Amino acid sequence: MFHLHPEDRTAADVTGADLRAAVVADLDADDPARRDYVDVHLPELDLSALVVDGDDVGHLTFRDVTVDGTLDLTGAVVRHPIAIEDAEIGRLVADRASFEMEVTVEESVIGKSAGGTALRAHRGSFDRSFQIAATRFEGRVDLAAGRVVGWLSFDDTTVVGGAHFPNLAVGTAQFVSTTFESGAEFAGTTADLVTFQDVAVSEDAPLELAEGRFEELRVRPAGDLRCRLAEATVSAGRLDQPDEGVAAYDLTDATVGDVDIDCDADSFDRYRFYRTGFDDFPFASYHTVLRDNRWHIHEYVHEPEQPVTVEGLEQTYLEAKQGAADVGDSETGSMFFVRELRYRRRRYAAHARAATHSTSHRVDAAARWVTNGFLDLIAGYGERPQRTAFLALAVILGCAAAFPATEGLVAGDEVVTYASHGVAAVVDSLYFSIVTFATLGLGDVHPIGTLGRFIAAFEGLVGAFLTAVFVFSLGRRVTR
């Protein structure tokens, strides 16, 4: 009855139930050739809730088959390998179906019109593999909450409608030379290894990998691509740029492990690190790029979906600092630490200006803003000992220039002022300034008058403070 012309099948009053019964009979037959359906034209084929189990594991093949409507495998349990080759199927449905052997679809056209559902396998389970090659899906492909224990592959395939794979659990998946004309969604997907090689995605829709968990992820697009990895976890892999075009990766709130990124100083902003966590990310490999970008990692080539906030930027560099420290890259960690505290200073300033906060909170924020700025100025938060050294030199020289301009210094039997000694007064004044800054207190030279004594006292206090800050900062640098 399968090889009757559709008109003859109608005339013989062959129903869908008859076709289903014939398939069951073929599966139970001893002749494996009866499980090969070749050059068959059907209005639809309902195999839903069918347990496909024979005495052997020979292929169930649909070759050069046309199904005008739906090939329905909803709830079926199939223990034979299935091969669909050179077929035209209006709609393929396998919701909650279980396939215990390989499933392959090759050189076929699934779906009658763009926008409808071409393939749907909600909560479908594939214990071996689900391989699609050289196939065109005229509508949507939907494998929501599906499970592929072994291998999932889309090779040289076009999906005209949206590709929806949310909460998919897969062992290994590859998408090679595949075009997603309406975007591809893998939100919440978990996988051991996923590869996107020469994949093209519509400019109007991203490659959506948000909230996924990937032990290894490799992406090399064919052209322009926006890849959204917000809140995803990528333990290892590589995020590449195409030969022509721009691939932009949004890693907002993601966790990034040992992942290589394809960039230079001019293309680093194609990777957005914002509130991103780092777990074994190889910062040392990107020292030159980071240095050329002044250690900014949050800038992005596209307009971000989430607006940037001062609090978010502070968290961004806190996470980066901790990630760099965890891999022993103290130099990078120190740069991120400075960025973190500078954004914290901006947060203090914003809180001090905000009328919505209480007066005590605003005063406290203002005090913290002043303290933060002061620590940045004198020592770069303990990361720039050279700043402390330059400030110490400025204090010594400034005080040395000031002492002769007051009532002068007593050096031996002389009173040294600019009026009495001219520029030569700076020699004794510089000596006294150095001794005072170092708090040595030798006593052979001392100031005259109240102003001079206050300048000396101030310099002694500043000298003791700056010396302590310099030793602390230098110690941090040496330990690195």
pLDDT tens-digit series, residues 159-195: 998 999 999 999 999 999 999 999 999 999 999 999 9
- pLDDT band at residue 32, thresholds of 50, 70 and 90? confident
The pair of three-digit structure tokens given for residue 225, joined into one six-digit string = 């691509």
pTM: 0.85
- Nearest of 249, 255, 240, 324 to residue 286 by alpha carbon: 324
Quote the pLDDT of residue 233.
98
Q: Report the C-alpha gap between 450 and 148 in whole angstroms.
A: 86
Quote the pLDDT of residue 55.
58
What average pLDDT score do residues 201-218 get?
Answer: 94
* Averaged pLDDT of the chain: 91
Please state, for a pLDDT cut of 90, what percent of the chain lies above it.
70
- pLDDT band at residue 115, thresholds of 50, 70 and 90? low
Quote the pLDDT of residue 118.
95
Quote the pLDDT of residue 58.
72
Q: Report the C-alpha gap between 299 and 301 in whole angstroms.
A: 7
The helix (run of H) or strand (run of E) holding residue 339 is helix 330-353
Q: What is the pLDDT of residues 342-395, one digit of tens each?
A: 999 999 999 999 999 999 999 999 999 999 999 999 988 888 888 999 999 999
Q: Report the C-alpha gap between 237 and 172 in whole angstroms.
A: 13
Phi-psi region of 79 (alpha: psi -120 to 50; beta: other; left: phi over 0): alpha
If one compares 1 and 329, the residue with the highest pLDDT of the two is 329
Note whether 242 and 270 are within 8 A (CB): no
| Range in 94-103, 271-280, 436-445 the model is least confident about | 436-445
- pLDDT band at residue 4, thresholds of 50, 70 and 90? confident
- Residue 370 CA: distances (Å) to CA of 344, 354, 458: 12, 16, 20
Residue 305 has pLDDT above 90, yes or no: no
Give the SS3 label for residue 26.
Answer: helix
Q: Report the C-alpha gap between 189 and 183 in whole angstroms.
A: 16
Residue 80 has pLDDT above 90, yes or no: no
